[in-house]
Copies of this chain bind each other. A is one copy, B any other.
Amino acid sequence: MKASDLGERGIIELIWSVLSEHGGFKPSKIPLPHPDDATAIEMEGGKYLLMKSDTFVKRTDAPRGMRHRSMGRKALVMNISDLAAKGAEPLAFLFSLGVPRGYDARRIEELVQGLAEASREYCVPILGGDVCESKELFVAGFATGAAKRIVRRSGATPGDIVAVTGPFGDTAAALRILLEGLEAPPRLRRKALRSIYEPSARLGLGRRLAEAGVVTSSMDSSDGLAFTLNELARSSKVGMRISSIPASPVALELSRLHRLNVSDLVFFGGEEYEIVYTVSRGKWEDALRISRESGGHLIGIGEVILGSAVIYSEGGAEVPVPPKGWEHLK
């Protein structure tokens, strides 16, 4: 069997089954068991130390036209986003840089400038790293954070409101423009491409919602909205009915121009660093107030229901939302 037969998720499952079968050392408590956005251990004083590793590989993760500065920035953002989704305040970022022998040192400099920029933007110090020779450029990022209260993927209950921290569809629109050559007016094209070159993590909002105890489950949406909703539903052993799709202006305009199904752009994108939450119905107003106060958004898109399916109610008809999403090695 080859790695590509298993795919990224298949290999991750293989790893966890080997680790549990061969009895790697286990701590007494695992506050965020696999699978979740990040991992954690409990520290003295009841606080949690969160950790996340995620790798940016230029060949597969950098869309055409992405500058090295943006690559560096994104390598940090993708790790911070997972901490944000779990409610943590970042403490430090480290990275392992894999560089081909002949790589232009100026490009490495630009990449590190992007890392420095993201370090300032999210107030997370870059404290260390290592450099190794590699056949292709990669940045393996490692972020640690602290949280008083963490949010798991598994806490959603029927009746909860499903909410997202921003609209979706920009990255799917960008990839249609970039990979399929879809035409778009310059302004639209620029806005779409910005979403894949310069993503942002919802750090402040994520921490405040977790600390306030108003959210019951959460996940970073970088695997795509459809995949994320299905994963939250699976982890929480519930279903979800999505009644309103959070389409971005870019997605709406591109779908109008090219008669695309806007829900495809919204559900089956990926690399969007919003957070998907379920919110206790009785705390919805509190959650909205917190999101306003922290300068963010919280958009209700549906509700948690009994069952296991994620369903989209579109004009009276109910259609299933399959857990499709982008995956490495597939």
Contact = CB atoms under 8 A, between A and B. Distances in A.
Interface residues of A, number: 84
A117 interface: yes
Interface string A17-49: 011001111110010001000111101110101
Contact of A60 (B102, B115, B133): B133
A255 interface: no
A101 B30 CA distance: 32
A179 interface: no
Interface in A39-95: 39-41, 43-45, 47, 49, 51-55, 57, 59-61, 91-92, 94-95
A24 to B, nearest CB: 4
A144 B49 contact: yes
A128 B96 contact: no
A128 B94 contact: no
A306 interface: no
A109 interface: yes
A122 to B, nearest CB: 8
A180 to B, nearest CB: 22
A182 interface: no
A122 B25 CA distance: 8
B25 A120 contact: yes
Interface stretch (A134-142, A213-221, A259-267): A134-142
B15 A133 contact: no
Interface of A: 1-6, 8, 11-12, 14-15, 18-19, 22-27, 30, 34, 38-41, 43-45, 47, 49, 51-55, 57, 59-61, 91-92, 94-106, 108-109, 112-113, 115-117, 119-120, 122-136, 138, 140, 142, 144, 328-329
A319 to B, nearest CB: 31
A169 B29 CA distance: 42
Contact of A41 (B6, B27, B61, B127): B127
12 contacts: A11-B97, A19-B126, A25-B126, A27-B92, A27-B125, A44-B45, A51-B128, A53-B96, A53-B142, A57-B132, A57-B133, A135-B135
A27 B127 CA distance: 9
A44 B91 CA distance: 13
B11 A328 contact: no
- Give the copy number: 2
Q: Chain A contact residues: over half helix, strand or loop, or mixed?
A: mixed
A120 B24 contact: yes
A100 B68 CA distance: 23
A51 B3 contact: no
A133 B25 contact: no
Contacts of A6: 105
A95 B40 CA distance: 14
A74 to B, nearest CB: 14
Contact of A99 (B3, B51, B108): B3
Given A44-B45, A127-B30, A132 B53 contact: no
